[in-house]
Chain A
Amino acid sequence: DTAVSQTPKYLVTQMGNDKSIKCEQNLGHDTMYWYKQDSKKFLKIMFSYNNKELIINETVPNRFSPKSPDKAHLNLHINSLELGDSAVYFCASSQDRGRDYGYTFGSGTRLTVV
């Protein structure tokens, strides 16, 4: 059983398209995150939800919109994709703020915008 699963694993799309990435966790955690990892492997937090409430909303273009239908799911919708959006997007989850057992990351979605 995959603890944090993301779909799709790879996504190749043209500039200007709209795409979504889905994430599900079966760990019973109450907090979920989206991170962006660039080509230099830098991990940057984008959003965090705690029990479906948005608690972290970093400075990202408003073309990125997260949605958490329940505490086990967190999706990321991206409008009008740009070349600079190409990166690996990781979903993660934790119990509370992950200070006892850490974050559990998914395997990532490699987004390539052409």
Chain B
Amino acid sequence: QQQVKQSPQSLIVQKGGISIINCAYENTAFDYFPWYQQFPGKGPALLIAIRPDVSEKKEGRFTISFNKSAKQFSLHIMDSQPGDSATYFCAASSDRGSTLGRLYFGRGTQLTVWP
């Protein structure tokens, strides 16, 4: 069972455009939602993370929007650049219950930014 559902599977955006990746979850015990970025031949690296006490978090061109009632969160990449071309993973974890200590990843989105 996929704990975190991510879409789209692939995304092509023109340079300067906005990239939007969406994720949804069911487990209301999740209370930590990171995004990871993975370049070819490398391991994933933490990009930005949010907790449900805020609805938005921004770091540079990257913004997470969080909708607790809808159990959805999304990554927005403003002014997308060719160097942003990578695979992006959303994830979720909980500090309690049967999912304690586990980070569940979405299936990833392959982002390609055209120059």
Q: Which A residues are closer than 8 A to B by beta carbons?
A: 4, 40-43, 45, 48, 50, 55-56, 90, 92, 97-99, 101-108
Main secondary structure of the interface of B (DSSP, over half): strand
Number of interface residues of B (CB under 8 A): 23
Closest CB of chain A to B114's CB: distance in Å?
Answer: 21
Q: Are B89 and A101 in contact, CB atoms less than 8 angstroms apart? A: no
Q: Are B43 and A106 in contact, CB atoms less than 8 angstroms apart? A: yes
Question: B46 near A: Cβ within 8 Å?
Answer: yes
Q: Are B87 and A108 in contact, CB atoms less than 8 angstroms apart? A: no
Q: Are B44 and A105 in contact, CB atoms less than 8 angstroms apart? A: yes
B108 contact set on A, CB distance < 8 A? 41-43
Closest CB of chain B to A53's CB: distance in Å?
Answer: 12
B93 contact set on A, CB distance < 8 A? 97-99
Tell me, in angstroms, the Cα distance from A43 to B3 when the chains sit together. Answer: 12
- Across the two chains, which residue of chain B brings its CB closest to A9? B41
Q: Are A55 and B107 in contact, CB atoms less than 8 angstroms apart? A: no
23 contacts between A and B (CB under 8 A): A40-B107, A41-B38, A41-B107, A41-B108, A45-B103, A48-B102, A50-B101, A55-B101, A56-B102, A97-B93, A97-B95, A97-B103, A98-B103, A99-B95, A102-B34, A102-B36, A102-B46, A103-B44, A103-B46, A103-B103, A105-B43, A105-B44, A107-B41
